[in-house]
A = this chain, B = another copy of it.
Amino acid sequence: MRVYVGLVHYPVYNKNREMIASSVTTLDVHDIARLSRTYDVKTYYIITPLEEQQRLIMDILNHWTNGYGAKYNPDRKEALSLVRITSSLEDAIDEIEEREGKRPIIISTDANRMEEKTISYKETSDLIKKGEPIFLLLGTAWGLYKSVLDMSDYILEPIYGRSNYRHLSVRTAAAIIIDRLIGRYNYG
């Protein structure tokens, strides 16, 4: 299994459908790192071009992997050691390509169904099972900007719950998506 997860803070939409760089939410760092560790994700990339935000994430990582937090809660250290910070999506893709010897298949996620390039959970699972390197992109704020969807190989089907309400947090959406794609309950 060669699955990578990227949490994108730029470029994403704001409430008014403008392109922005969003702020990092501390619990996104922790929750998705713990999820990644649970499901054997190779690296969890946090992508932001803002240096101040990169420093904030570094402080969190240092506290939990080297500082007091590492002694207080070694489980958290184990999860947060999967986190990498990059300034751009391209840098993350290049790093994965270097590690895997080929460019990963880029699969974006969106709360709305796209006309083109939609891929089902089953098809994505099959790619993962075949051993393809996959880079799963999650958008913060009001979702991944159009340019990210355009450069992706596929866009994953939205999560349909039991209503027309589609406003999950990125943390809970990430959990549902990763469990559907690689949880033992669903396949294997």
Contact = CB atoms under 8 A, between A and B. Distances in A.
A31 B169 contact: yes
A38 B164 CA distance: 7
A68 to B, nearest CB: 14
A27 interface: yes
Question: How many copies, total?
Answer: 2
Interface residues of A, number: 39
Given A172-B31, A175-B172, A185-B180, A165 B75 contact: yes
Contacts of A130: none
Interface hub of A37, A162, A180, A182 (most chain B Cβ within 10 A): A162
A103 interface: no
Nearest to A28: B27
Interface of A: 1, 27, 30-32, 34-35, 37-40, 75-76, 78-79, 121, 159-163, 165-169, 171-176, 179-180, 182-186
